[in-house]
């Protein structure tokens, strides 16, 4: 069910409360349903370099997507840029990855330049979010890290890579969100209800 229109602050607070209130077993069940929908989609199956995220505070968990990985697929996790430019780097994630907590107390890989991949060289980015709407407008946590990191998708015409796909519970879909000039919209979103592809003419 879509969230009713409300102020951004109210919507963000309400959805975060709903996420946090989900029992752990329900979070796991819903996250696996989302993963099954996304795994069966061509955008996932054609991608080679895929960025995921580590969920916090009740976010839908995309990590089980790795269990369906094809032999040629590689996975990455975001880390805060060491240059404090409010952007994200992406570090290859495998059995050798070592973790630390960033300044927001979120687990992230230790930075290794040799294991990093530029954002525009990724094929598919599974993004966390607070809310999204039917046009692909995404509401994040308010820090703007994903918008700054993928700003090139707004300025480069017909930039196909990476495909940005929101990963969320169905109740995180809002009726309508106000899109700011700096917002980078999603190409798609996946919930336990299914996969939604948004217009490629939105940029």
Stated pTM of the model: 0.93
**Region class of 84: left (phi > 0), else alpha (psi between -120 and 50), else beta:** left
Q: Are the beta carbons of 51 and 90 closer than 8 angstroms? A: yes
- Counting as low any pLDDT under 70, the low residues of the chain are 1-6, 156-158, 200-203
**Which pLDDT score, from 0 to 100, does residue 202 have?**
53
Backbone angles phi, psi at 13, to 5 degrees: -65, -45
pLDDT tens-digit readout, 181-192: 999 999 999 999
State the DSSP H helix or E strand holding residue 167, giving kind and residue range, or none if neither: strand 163-167
Q: What is the pLDDT of residue 5?
A: 57
The predicted structure's pLDDT at residue 138: 97
pLDDT for the residue 155? 79
Ordered domains of the chain (ranges, CATH): 8-192 (3.40.50.10420)
């Amino acid at each position: 069910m879509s969230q009713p229109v409300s102020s951004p602050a109210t919507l963000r607070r309400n959805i975060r409360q709903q996420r946090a209130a989900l029992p752990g077993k329900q979070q796991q069940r819903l996250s696996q349903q989302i993963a099954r929908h996304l795994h069966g989609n061509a955008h996932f199956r054609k991608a080679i370099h895929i960025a995921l995220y580590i969920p916090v505070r009740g976010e839908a968990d995309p990590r089980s997507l790795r269990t369906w990985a094809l032999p040629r697929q590689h996975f990455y996790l975001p880390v805060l840029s060491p240059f404090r430019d409010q952007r994200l780097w992406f570090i290859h994630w495998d059995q050798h990855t070592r973790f630390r907590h960033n300044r927001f107390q979120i687990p992230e890989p230790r930075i290794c330049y040799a294991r990093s991949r530029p954002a525009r060289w990724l094929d598919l980015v599974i993004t966390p979010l607070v809310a999204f709407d039917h046009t692909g407008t995404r509401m994040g946590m308010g820090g703007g890290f994903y918008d700054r990191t993928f700003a090139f998708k707004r300025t480069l015409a017909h930039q196909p890579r990476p495909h940005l796909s929101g990963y969320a519970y169905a109740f995180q879909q809002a009726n309508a969100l106000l899109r700011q000039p700096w917002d980078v919209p999603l190409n798609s979103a996946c919930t336990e209800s299914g996969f939604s592809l948004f217009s490629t003419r939105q940029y």
